[in-house]
Amino acid sequence: MAQKVTVYDVAELAGVSIATVSFAFTRPEKVKPDTVRAVMVAADTLGYVPSASARGLARGRTGAIGLYAYDYLLDSSAVSIDDDSAVSSARLFPLYADEVQRGVQLECRDRGYALMIGGNRTPNHLPHVIEVAGRVDGLIAFAGALSAAHLRQVASRIPVVELGGEVREPGTATVLVDNRQGMADLTHHLLKTHHYKRFAYLGELGTPEFRQRWEGFSTTLIDAEISVPEVTPSHPGDDASTVAAVEALLDKGELPEVLVCDTDQSALVAIAELKRHGLTVPRDIAVTGFDGILAGQLNHPPLTTVRQPMEEIGRLAVSLLVDVLGGGKAAEQADPLISSFMPGQTCGCS
Amino acid sequence: MAQKVTVYDVAELAGVSIATVSFAFTRPEKVKPDTVRAVMVAADTLGYVPSASARGLARGRTGAIGLYAYDYLLDSSAVSIDDDSAVSSARLFPLYADEVQRGVQLECRDRGYALMIGGNRTPNHLPHVIEVAGRVDGLIAFAGALSAAHLRQVASRIPVVELGGEVREPGTATVLVDNRQGMADLTHHLLKTHHYKRFAYLGELGTPEFRQRWEGFSTTLIDAEISVPEVTPSHPGDDASTVAAVEALLDKGELPEVLVCDTDQSALVAIAELKRHGLTVPRDIAVTGFDGILAGQLNHPPLTTVRQPMEEIGRLAVSLLVDVLGGGKAAEQADPLISSFMPGQTCGCS
DNA sequence: ATGAAAGCGCTAACAC
DNA sequence: GTGTTAGCGCTTTCAT
């Protein structure tokens, strides 16, 4: 940890001014080739590492993009597939947020941006997201991860792209995914192929994307003149709420024929809980999910679900952000990304 | 994107000096409670978002940790498990680096550090890693991702922790994993349980950790007085090289009884390639891997391998770094993390 | 307890 | 083509 080498040191060794050093790095074509070479040699000799803080301050931008997720998404959530399978020991599966993050990483790399993933500790009184926001030129946030107030505050300083189903705030971009059609297709399948009539729905209506799923489900039932169940509350990331929801269902006595869940994670938790009660899926009850995460496909039998283009969502978010940062006007997504029905076997298909 | 709100604005609205604003945030106990409150209200009203660049410049540290990986590790590498399984459509599995990254993320969060994942484009002439290094207080690098020269350059400015099998450079910490024992145990299993005598080894010796694997393998064979094969070259992340290695093996005519690979990824690619040639694993030839990634466990049959504590590796790296940053002396890892033999079925077990 | 002021390392006018 | 210089927004002595 020797003392820092700065532009001044490089300039001195190269026998030029600090401005020339700066130009040599950022606009080499504006500097005499020999001078550039001399600067590079000096920088190399000294082991010069430019300070991103200083550069960021001077330029007014950091060259980094931030990704803000719910805290719980970072936890080592244990979605164990099957307690007696060889798989059970691998407790980490890429969940929805992980796969989106991967897309974000890839696109950031392609676009030449650094990616900041939020630190958590807030040594001062500022909310966590503000800490992240202060470090980056633009922020990507999962739908629902930001309160409206924070969203507004952050968005007033840097462009924000939300990952979700609907535009929440005028001025902040949103990656649109048509959750509705995918869920409608899935419901249609349950109706037409399996002729189910007694449905239950596990989930929530807290964010636009969840509401879309519900709408895809409920309107399809209505169209088919099948009675629409109530939403049995279950919250993403909160497995306990899913377990409770299943208990509630079981307590009611009569079991539905099929349990439609609004995330794969809750579907998997529900399946495990049903099994704990001696019920087999899909023999005793069918179950479906939403997202298309790996864990669902690895379930035995594979989960019937709707796949979201997760990597694409992440990539698109970065693209939108970079376009705005590049001086473009508020980039608009051309068409919503689509979600697609993904048949498995938990619906009763074989 | 309104104009930035700065300390000056907050100070003015709160009717105090900028120094007081700063103190109110960073050392509230040194400021009169009423003043703190006034500052907070002002900050809130204006939507103040402190600039991490300015803070970093002034403080000399950024509060972020960097993670540096090989480029190829970011690619959407397609390790397809089984072309006709339900799984094949999920082409993204957490590979070694992903699982380590997860550990890094978790520990960064717990320790209150932001995580920087390297951007790639280098608009100037500086090597990519230098770009990353300039943004962070400490850097974690996968073994072999940094050239010795870069390692030295970066390490002279900020603490670096390498993820690997051996200390490369005095002064830079390394997360030690005992790859050797795990590989020796696996080899022992092949010897004692399956009584194999004709081995092939796919891999490389380019980094200490790979050399450890080779040593665990070869010394166990030597002890058992079994003839040690040559290393058939195959490079991690370069599936084509693995395919070529398998071809080379097949061209030689006589097939070995077992193919020991130095990563799971190459083992999976090898299995796919063998299958393409009409060979079944483990019936016609046994195959083993190393790492314990999810994809291996999901293979049919499950891959026999050695599991590395990947999340733990990531977490430990952050811990070591944070300890050093916290002013401690060069933190030393107490004991190497262990790798453990993980039986599957590709070795011939059922 | 609070304010004034000197930087932190770099960029970007502007002058030469 | 290169040098001078004035900030960028914040932290941090040092006074008061």
pLDDT in tens, B55-78: 999 999 999 999 998 754 444 444
pLDDT of residue A1: 52
Distance between CA A12 and CA A326 in Å, rounded?
35
pLDDT of residue B284: 96
The answer on pLDDT for B293 being more than 90 is no
Please indicate if any CB of chain A lies within 8 Å of the CB of B127: no
- Of residues B58 and B294, more confidence is placed in B58
**Residue bearing tokens 């019920």:** A279
Please indicate if any CB of chain B lies within 8 Å of the CB of A223: no
Please indicate if any CB of chain A lies within 8 Å of the CB of B341: no
pLDDT of residue A86: 31
- Report the first-to-last Cα separation within chain B, whole angstroms: 62
Comparing CA positions, the residue from B305, B350, B338 lying closest to residue B187 is B305
Q: Distance from CA of residue A42 to its chain's centroid? A: 43
| Residue B110's pLDDT band (cuts 50, 70, 90) | confident
pLDDT of residue A77: 43
| Residue A10's pLDDT band (cuts 50, 70, 90) | very high
CA angle B161, B163, A40 (to 5 degrees): 55
| Residue B239's pLDDT band (cuts 50, 70, 90) | confident
Please indicate if any CB of chain A lies within 8 Å of the CB of B90: yes
Q: Would you tell me which residues 262-281 of chain A have a C-beta closer than 8 angstroms to some C-beta of chain B?
A: none
Residue range B151-156: mean pLDDT, rounded: 89
The answer on pLDDT for A276 being more than 60 is yes
Torsion of CA B268, B269, B272, B274, to 10 degrees: -110
Distance between CA B82 and CA B309 in Å, rounded?
26
Which residues lie below 8 Å from residue B215, measured CB to CB, with a gap of 6+? Answer: B180, B183
| Residue B79's pLDDT band (cuts 50, 70, 90) | very low
Mutate to test the interface with A, among B4, B48, B109 (most CBs of A within 10 A): B109
8 A C-beta contact, residue B204 and residue B241: no
Chain B positions in Cβ-Cβ contact with residue A295 (cut-off 8 Å): none
| Residue A119's pLDDT band (cuts 50, 70, 90) | low
The answer on pLDDT for A298 being more than 90 is no
Which member of A74, A154, A297 has the closest CB to residue B105? A74
Distance between CA B307 and CA B291 in Å, rounded?
5
Residues B21-28: contacts with CB under 8 Å, at least 24 apart: B25/A124, B25/A125, B25/A126, B25/B50, B26/A123, B26/A124, B28/A124, B28/A125
**Residue bearing tokens 């190459």:** B266
Q: Would you tell me which residues 4-43 of chain B have a C-beta closer than 8 angstroms to some C-beta of chain A?
A: 4-5, 25-26, 28, 40, 43
Residue range B103-122: mean pLDDT, rounded: 82
- Of residues A143 and A63, more confidence is placed in A63
Comparing CA positions, the residue from A249, A244, A199, A250 lying closest to residue A220 is A199
**Element (H or E) spanning B325, and its range?**
helix B310-325
Residue B268: how many other CB atoms lie within 10 Å? 27
Chain B positions in Cβ-Cβ contact with residue A114 (cut-off 8 Å): 116-119, 131-132, 135
pLDDT of residue B2: 57
pLDDT of residue B83: 41
Residue range B181-198: mean pLDDT, rounded: 98
Yes or no, beta carbons of B52 and A56 under 8 Å apart? yes
**Element (H or E) spanning A174, and its range?**
strand A173-178
Distance between CA A133 and CA B50 in Å, rounded?
9
Yes or no, beta carbons of A64 and B157 under 8 Å apart? no
Average pLDDT, whole number, for chain B?
A: 87
Per residue in A154-205, pLDDT (tens digit) is 998 999 999 976 776 777 889 999 999 999 999 999 999 999 999 999 999 9
The token pair at B111 is 């320790």
CA B222 to each of CA B187, B188, B290, B341: distance values in angstroms, whole numbers, following the listed order: 11, 11, 20, 19
The answer on pLDDT for B37 being more than 90 is yes
Q: Which of A48-52, A188-192, B204-208 has the lowest mean pLDDT?
A: B204-208
The answer on pLDDT for A323 being more than 80 is yes
- Of residues A62 and A150, more confidence is placed in A62
Q: Which of A48-52, A257-261, B238-242, B266-270 has the lowest mean pLDDT?
A: B238-242
Which residues of chain A (11-70) touch nucleic strand C at CB < 7 A? 18-19, 22, 25-26, 48, 50-51, 54-55, 57-59
| Residue A143's pLDDT band (cuts 50, 70, 90) | confident
| Nearest protein residue to the C1' atom of D3, measured from CA | A17
| Residue A147's pLDDT band (cuts 50, 70, 90) | confident
The answer on pLDDT for A233 being more than 90 is yes
Residue range B32-56: mean pLDDT, rounded: 94
Chain A positions in Cβ-Cβ contact with residue B86 (cut-off 8 Å): 297, 302, 344
Residue B55 CB lies within 7 Å of the nucleic strand D: yes
Which member of B4, B135, B302 has the closest CB to residue A157? B4
Nucleotides of D under 7 A from a protein CB: 1-5, 7-13
Q: Output the distance from B242 CA to D14 C1' rounded to whole Å.
A: 66
Residue B61 CB lies within 7 Å of the nucleic strand C: no
The token pair at B248 is 């080379």
**β-sheet bridge partners, residue B175:** B163
